């Protein structure tokens, strides 16, 4: 059936009464023709409605007892309403052209009255009609159209009373409220608007809030008005509702909110507030326009300014930019400095001026007048920004000022002010350290000064450009500019500087310019020209402050050219000039002596190049100049030449001689570090440790001494030389400074390896005193505490900073927590079986510690924690099972007691089983090889390491020296692999590990080296690392049967029989043998 009036009007809007323009015809259509066509259409519509009326009345006559009779009568009434509308529009169009305003249409009134009669009759005869609420609503609407407002109010109130659940009820409330609102009866209007707000959100809610907002405005209650306007503007859209109509209400609410907001709310935060409520950029711009105007009227200029700025930023408008820009200027002036001028303000003024300049509709007089005014405003604001920059001496403000002047100059260049503006901009850029741009501005200013025939100004501008170029090349500034700008600045100094000297020879800065020209040639690597200019400067102006610098740079340039003859001539000139400073002449004498040594070295290199042996040539020079600087440099040159030739034996020989002949040489660090590194790379690990120790001894408190001691200590740790490692780490700690904690932690580990428990504990505590979050020291301290059975609470206090540190995750932290758990586990086990409550409490405490250890990212200690958790739960279950039956119970009660105990024990056993199963699952998944895995398999505390003891070192093979020499010469993966296997064959496990590790560094896919490294690591007690090496060997060569056999043996040692058999399936050769094979593999077959 038909819908309510609102939907009817919307339907009409979709089919407009006015004809649409047919684009296929000539658009130049006379008004009379359009009117004629519209009148004809209205007549056709009336004819159609009349036919519908006759047909509907005929149907009603035939359907007196039909159930749909009310629907037909409802339709008949609507047709009369529709006809009244067409008749009214037709009469409007047919009246005389001179008649204006509303017309009186008796025909329309009669048709509407007929519709009212039909609506009343329908309600009277069919009170239970299913669309009675719509009939009532339409009836009230027609009464309103007829001016029967009292009857309309009565009818709308009846709709509200009779049909409280009707969807039209809220529209009725809205219409009544609007009636009283128009009558300025705010109290009565508010009742109906508030009634709407009691219901769930509907299309009329926003309009009700909007009207309530205006009621509060009329009552001067602006804060409450803000609440209503805000609710209307910011409500969520309702699905199925005309979004355009809803947006119109929201937009009006937002715009009317501005007035109340400025009266009731603080201005701070106004812009983001209105931006959040705006549905589009256009709406936000409208709100900003009203907001800026409102604050401007209220003379709150400091808040009008940001609103106007934002408005001009988001909505450029050629028609309004001038007005807005002028208002922004007026606000800034009225704010009297409370709001500083910004670059964007000038940009807006220039944009407005551009719009004026290109506006084709402005006459020339108006255009010139407005441009003059805008130029003055723009110049004033730019000058204000420059003054603010000078006052604050803020680089950012200077840059803003320079950008503002750039905006100004992009459009305005009045003869009277252009040079001053350019000068100000150049000064601002210079003060902001924007030197390349400042130079360009000074150069442009010089052109304008020349054009204006201002010689003084042109000279100052030319020097300003040169000074800017020079400043751009200063240390600390040159890194901030591009390579092109660097090259440009140097070329400008060279070329423009020469022109400046020629044009302004009497300028007080002429000498500085001369010096900078020479410096530009020097920085560009044109040493010959720069040396000529620097020599001329120093000799011509010996008393100038830059004369010594010029002299030194001249000599340095000649040194860069290896022009020793020129150096000799220049030093003689300088020494003959008595006006040069005495300190500079002393430096010249020293330079003269050094250059002679360099000259000799150059000659020695040349002669050795001729003979083909650089090393021998340099050694000869050293021999001929014993004890002097030349000898020292020659020996170091020979050392570096031997290094480049990879003659490491010669390198060690020359290095030792250099250190013997010149114990305090500046090359100590480089020589010792190089020899030590190359010794290690050649497989001479004990020798490398000794060289690193020499580096530590000789360098004293230098940071390289610390590095030397640490490298030596680490090598000795791998070599199992724990006393030597302790000495090295202690020496490193003595010179470590803020790196002392690392050395002390390694010292504690070395003492623990040497089973010096007291020393390890003391050193670990010392480490934590230096670095309370050091996890290595914490692990050592915890292991010692667990070994000696110390109190867990004392240990927990020491571990707390480590565990709570941001970087606590890791192997060492997990290990420390696990040993703390060990102490708690022993205490738990020591509690008698009959003290169940105490055992449960102790279990909870150690569970927390083990869980924390398991969460530290270490697979090994996570498995170990699960093992001990399983044992703890197993022990608790056993204790509960041993609970004795209370005395005096009958047989039945005793049996019941035992049953209850079993029920309590069963969940605990299940938890223990789950812990052990999880332990084995994690061990298999993460490939953990540790005693804890065996403990989980046996579910017992007996979990000894299944690893073999390291064999006693044997004798190296006969051909070992050749292997050593080959490894040292080639230093490739193959030769180091052969060296490592020889060490492994001789059971010298630490040396084998280091050599094979170096081989795998050079060639990670060396399958034999990886396998041998795995065996060495196994003997060193590192099963996890051994597994990784076996895995890499198999990845590199899946057919490596030794690697598979070794991996099978490793699995077998830790009880993984199935995994071992799987690996052995790939081993076909039953006669495998060799030092790089774990003998355990045969027992797994």
Whether the CB-CB separation of 919 and 863 falls below 8 Å is answered with: yes
**278-292, 591-605, 683-697, 1069-1083: least confident range:** 591-605
* Reported confidence tier of residue 350, pLDDT bands at 50, 70, 90: very high
How crowded is residue 560: how many other Cβ atoms within 10 Å of its Cβ?
A: 14
Other Cβ atoms less than 10 A from the Cβ of 45: the count is 18
CB contact at 8 A, 54 and 81: no
Q: What is the mean pLDDT of residues 1058-1063?
A: 86
CA distance 955 to 987: 8
Q: What angle do CA 646, 652, 658 make, to 5 degrees?
A: 120
First vs last C-alpha separation in the chain: 91
Q: State the pLDDT confidence band at 685, using cuts at 50, 70 and 90.
A: confident
Query: Which residues are CB-neighbours of 775 under 8 A, at least 6 positions away?
Result: 802, 808, 810, 812, 813, 816
Q: 868-899 pLDDT, tens per residue?
A: 899 999 888 888 888 888 888 888 888 888 88
What is the C-alpha separation between 562 and 603, in angstroms, rounded?
11
Q: How do residues 623-658 score in pLDDT, each as one tens digit?
A: 766 776 667 777 888 888 888 888 888 888 888 888
pLDDT for 28: 45
Distance of CA 665 to the CA centre of its chain: 48
C-alpha 590, offset from chain centre: 54
Task: State the pLDDT at residue 1082.
Answer: 82
Report how far residue 1063's alpha carbon sits from residue 1074's, in angstroms, rounded to the nearest whole number. Answer: 19
Segment 476-497 shows an average pLDDT of 87
> Which tens digits make up the pLDDT trace of 260-285?
888 888 989 988 988 898 888 988 88
Question: Per the structure block, which two tokens stand in for 419?
Answer: 């040079």
Q: Cα separation of 727 and 580, whole Å? A: 56
Does residue 95 register a pLDDT over 60? yes
Integer Cα distance of 390 and 378 in angstroms = 19
Distance, in Å, from the CA atom of 215 to the CA atom of 192, rounded to the nearest integer, reads 12
| Model confidence band, residue 6 (pLDDT cutoffs 50, 70, 90) | very low
Those residues whose C-beta lies under 8 Å from the C-beta of residue 820, and which sit 6 or more positions away, are 782, 785, 786, 792, 795, 796, 799, 849
pLDDT beyond 60 at 756: yes
**Segment 353-370 mean pLDDT:** 89
pLDDT at 127 over 70: yes
Count the alpha carbons within 13 Å of 96 in the hemisphere toward its beta carbon: 2
> Is pLDDT above 80 for 592?
no
Other CB atoms within 10 A of residue 366 CB: 12
- Percentage with pLDDT > 70 across the chain: 94
> What are the contacts of 611-616 at 24+ separation with CB within 8 A?
614/638, 614/641, 615/641, 615/642, 615/645, 615/647, 615/650, 615/654
Residues 207, 246 contacting (CB under 8 angstroms): no
Report the C-alpha gap between 599 and 629 in whole angstroms: 12
What pLDDT digit, counting tens, does each position of 379-410 carry?
A: 988 898 888 888 889 999 888 889 988 988 89
Contact in structure between 582 and 610 (CB atoms under 8 Å) = no
The pLDDT value recorded for residue 630 is: 66
Mean pLDDT of 112-136: 87
For residue 3, the model assigns a pLDDT of 36
Q: Per mean pLDDT, which range of 150-159, 623-632, 866-875, 986-995 is the poorest?
A: 623-632
pLDDT-above-90 percentage for the chain: 13
Q: Mean of the pLDDT values across residues 792-818?
A: 88
* Residue 308, both tokens: 């106007």
Gyration radius of the chain's alpha carbons: 49
pLDDT for 746 beyond 90: yes
Helix (H, G, I), strand (E, B) or coil at 101: coil
CB 930, CB 860: distance < 8 Å? yes
Indicate the helix (H) or strand (E) that contains 291: helix 281-297
CB count within 10 Å of CB 706 equals: 24
Same CATH topology for 1-166 and 960-1084? yes
Measured CA to CA, the distance from residue 867 to residue 937 in angstroms comes to 9
* C-alpha dist (Å) from residue 649 to 637, 654, 965, 978: 16, 9, 9, 20
Q: How far is CA 595 from the centre of its chain?
A: 53
For residue 696, give the 3-state DSSP assignment. Answer: helix
For residue 655, what are its two tokens? 């290095």
Residue 105 to residues 37, 41, 347, 924, Cα–Cα distance (Å): 22, 19, 60, 97
Sign of dihedral through CA atoms 534, 539, 541, 547? positive
Q: What is the 3-state secondary structure (H, E, C) of 303-360?
A: HHHHHHHHHHHHCCCCCCHHHHHHHHHHHHHHHCCCCCCCHHHHHHHHHHHHHHHHCC
Q: ∠ CA(945), CA(946), CA(949), 5° rounding? A: 90
Question: Quick check: helix, strand or coil at residue 267?
Answer: coil
Q: What average pLDDT does the structure give for the chain? A: 85
Q: Could you identify the residue written with the tokens 């170990």? A: 864
Number of H helices, E strands in the chain: 50, 0
Q: What is the DSSP annotation of 555-614?
A: HHHHHHTT-HHHHHHHHHHHHH-TTS-HHHHHHHHHHHHHHHHHHHHHHHHHHHHHHT-H
* Size of the chain, expressed as the number of residues it contains: 1085
Verdict on whether the full-model pTM lies above 0.85? no
- What are the backbone angles phi and psi of residue 748, rounded to the nearest 5°? -60, -40
Left if phi > 0, otherwise alpha if psi is -120 to 50, otherwise beta: which for 888?
left
What pLDDT, on a 0 to 100 scale, did the predictor assign at position 628? 64
Q: How much is the pLDDT for 905?
A: 86
3-class secondary-structure state, position 1040? coil
The CA-based dihedral angle spanning residues 93, 98, 101, 102, taken in that order and rounded to the nearest 10 degrees: -50
Q: Closest Cα to residue 725, out of 758, 759, 689? A: 689
Cα torsion 1078, 1079, 1081, 1084: sign: negative
* pLDDT for position 15: 38
Stretch 1047-1065: mean pLDDT, rounded?
A: 87
Tokens of 335: 């704010």
Cα angle 471, 475, 479; round to 5: 90
Minimal CA–CA distance to 492: which of 435, 434, 565?
435
Determine the pLDDT at residue 354: 92
CATH of the domain spanning 1-166? 1.25.40.10
Domain extents in the chain: 1-166, 433-519, 960-1084
- The 10s digit of each residue's pLDDT in 814-861 is 999 999 998 998 998 889 988 888 988 989 999 899 899 888 888 989
Quick count: other Cβ atoms within 10 Å of Cβ 628? 14
DSSP state of 339: S
The domain defined by 960-1084 folds into: 1.25.40
């Amino acid at each position: 059936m038909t819908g309510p009036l609102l939907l009817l009007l919307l339907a009409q809007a979709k089919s407009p009464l006015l004809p649409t323009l047919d684009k296929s015809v000539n658009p130049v259509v006379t008004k009379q023709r359009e009117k004629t066509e519209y009148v004809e259409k209205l007549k056709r519509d009336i004819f159609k409605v009349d036919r519908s009326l006759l047909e509907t009345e005929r149907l009603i006559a035939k359907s007196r007892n039909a159930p749909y009779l009310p629907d037909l009568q409802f339709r008949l009434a609507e047709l009369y309403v529709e006809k009244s509308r067409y008749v009214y529009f037709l009469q409007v169009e047919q009246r005389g052209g001179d008649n204006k305003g509303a017309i009186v249409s008796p025909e329309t009134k009669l048709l509407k009255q007929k519709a009212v009669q039909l609506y009343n009759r329908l309600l009277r005869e069919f009170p239970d009609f299913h669309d009675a609420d719509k009939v009532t609503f339409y009836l009230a609407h027609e009464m309103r159209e007829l001016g029967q407002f009292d009857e309309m109010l009565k009818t709308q109130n009846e709709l509200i009373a009779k049909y409280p659940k009707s969807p039209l009820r809220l529209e009725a409330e809205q219409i009544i409220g609007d009636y009283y609102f128009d009558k300025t009866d705010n109290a009565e209007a508010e009742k109906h608007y508030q009634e709407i707000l009691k219901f769930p959100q509907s299309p009329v809610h926003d309009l009700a809030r909007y009207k309530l907002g205006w009621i509060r405005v009329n009552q001067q209650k602006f804060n409450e008005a803000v609440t209503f306007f805000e609710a209307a503007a910011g409500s969520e859209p309702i699905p199925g509702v005309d979004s355009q109509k809803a947006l119109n209400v929201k937009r009006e609410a937002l715009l009317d909110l501005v007035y109340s907001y400025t009266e009731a709310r603080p201005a701070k935060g106004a812009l983001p507030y209105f931006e959040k409520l705006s549905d589009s950029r256009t709406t936000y711009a409208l709100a900003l326009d009203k907001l800026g105007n409102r604050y401007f009227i209220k003379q709150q200029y400091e808040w009008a300014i940001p609103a106007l700025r934002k408005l001009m930023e988001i909505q450029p408008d050629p028609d309004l930019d001038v007005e807005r820009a002028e208002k922004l200027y007026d606000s800034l002036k009225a704010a009297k400095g409370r709001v500083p001028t910004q670059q964007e303000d000038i940009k807006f003024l220039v944009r407005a001026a551009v719009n004026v300049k290109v506006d084709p509709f402005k006459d020339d007089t108006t255009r010139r007048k407005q441009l003059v005014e805008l130029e003055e405003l723009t110049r004033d604001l730019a000058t204000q920004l420059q003054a603010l920059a000078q006052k604050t001496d803020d680089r950012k403000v200077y840059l803003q000022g320079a950008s503002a002047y750039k905006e100004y100059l992009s459009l305005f260049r009045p003869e009277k002010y252009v040079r001053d503006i350019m000068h100000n901009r150049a000064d601002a850029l210079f003060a902001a350290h924007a030197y390349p741009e400042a130079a360009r501005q000074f150069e442009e200013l010089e052109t304008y000064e020349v054009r204006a025939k201002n010689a003084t100004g042109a000279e100052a501008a030319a020097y300003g450009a040169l000074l800017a170029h020079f400043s751009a090349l200063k240390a600390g500034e040159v890194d901030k500019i591009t390579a092109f700008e660097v090259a440009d600045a140097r070329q400008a100094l060279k070329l423009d500087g020469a022109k400046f000297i020629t044009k302004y020879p009497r300028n007080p800065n002429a000498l500085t310019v001369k010096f900078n020209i020479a410096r530009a040639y020097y920085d560009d690597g044109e040493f010959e020209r720069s040396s000529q200019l620097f020599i001329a400067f120093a000799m011509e102006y010996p008393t100038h402050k830059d004369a010594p610098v010029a002299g030194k740079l001249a000599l340095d340039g000649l040194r860069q050219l290896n022009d020793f003859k020129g150096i000799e001539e220049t030093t003689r000139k300088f020494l003959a000039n008595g006006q040069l400073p005495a300190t500079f002449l002393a430096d010249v004498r020293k330079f003269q002596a050094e250059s002679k040594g360099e000259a000799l070295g150059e000659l020695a290199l040349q002669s050795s190049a001729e003979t083909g042996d650089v090393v021998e040539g340099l050694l000869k020079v050293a021999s001929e100049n014993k004890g002097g600087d030349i000898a020292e440099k020659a020996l170091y040159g020979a050392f570096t030449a031997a290094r480049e030739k990879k003659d490491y034996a010669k390198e060690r020989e020359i290095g030792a001689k250099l250190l013997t002949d010149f114990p305090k040489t500046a090359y100590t660090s480089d020589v010792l570090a190089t020899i030590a590194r190359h010794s290690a790379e050649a497989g001479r690990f004990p020798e490398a440790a000794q060289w690193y120790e020499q580096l530590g001894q000789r360098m004293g408190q230098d940071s390289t001494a610390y590095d030397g001691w640490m490298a030596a200590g680490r090598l000795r740790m791998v070599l199992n030389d724990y006393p030597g490692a302790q000495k090295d780490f202690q020496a490193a700690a003595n010179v470590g400074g803020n790196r002392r904690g690392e050395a002390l932690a390694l010292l504690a580990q070395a003492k623990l390896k040497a089973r010096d428990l007291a020393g390890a504990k003391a050193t670990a505590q010392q480490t934590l005193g230096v670095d309370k979050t050091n996890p290595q020291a914490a692990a050592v301290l915890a292991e010692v505490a667990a070994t000696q059975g110390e109190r867990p609470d004392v240990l927990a206090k020491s571990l707390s900073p480590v565990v709570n540190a941001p970087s606590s995750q890791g192997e060492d932290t997990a290990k420390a927590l696990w040993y703390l758990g060990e102490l708690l586990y022993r205490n738990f086990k020591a509690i008698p079986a009959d003290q169940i409550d105490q055992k449960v409490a102790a279990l909870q405490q150690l569970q927390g510690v083990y869980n924390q250890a398991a969460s530290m990212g270490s697979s090994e200690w996570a498995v170990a924690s699960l093992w001990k958790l399983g044992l703890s739960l197993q022990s608790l279950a056993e204790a509960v099972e041993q609970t004795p039956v209370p005395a005096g119970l009958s047989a039945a009660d005793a049996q019941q007691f035992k049953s209850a105990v079993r029920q309590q024990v069963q969940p605990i056993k299940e938890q223990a089983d789950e812990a052990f199963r999880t332990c084995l699952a994690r061990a298999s998944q993460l490939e953990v090889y540790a005693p804890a895995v065996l403990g989980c398999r046996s579910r017992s505390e007996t979990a000894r390491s299944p690893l073999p003891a390291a064999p006693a070192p044997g004798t190296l093979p006969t051909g070992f020296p050749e292997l050593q020499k080959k490894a040292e010469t080639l230093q490739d993966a193959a030769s180091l692999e052969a060296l490592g296997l020889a060490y492994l064959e001789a059971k010298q496990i630490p040396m084998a590990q280091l050599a094979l590790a170096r081989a795998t560094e050079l060639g990670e896919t060396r399958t034999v080296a990886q396998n041998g490294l795995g065996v060495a690591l196994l003997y060193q007690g590192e099963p996890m690392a051994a597994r990784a090496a076996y895995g890499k060997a198999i990845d590199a060569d899946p057919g490596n049967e030794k690697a598979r056999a070794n991996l099978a043996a490793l699995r077998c040692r830790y009880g993984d029989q199935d995994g071992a058999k799987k690996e052995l399936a790939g081993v076909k050769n039953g006669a495998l043998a060799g030092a790089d094979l774990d003998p355990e593999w045969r027992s797994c077959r």
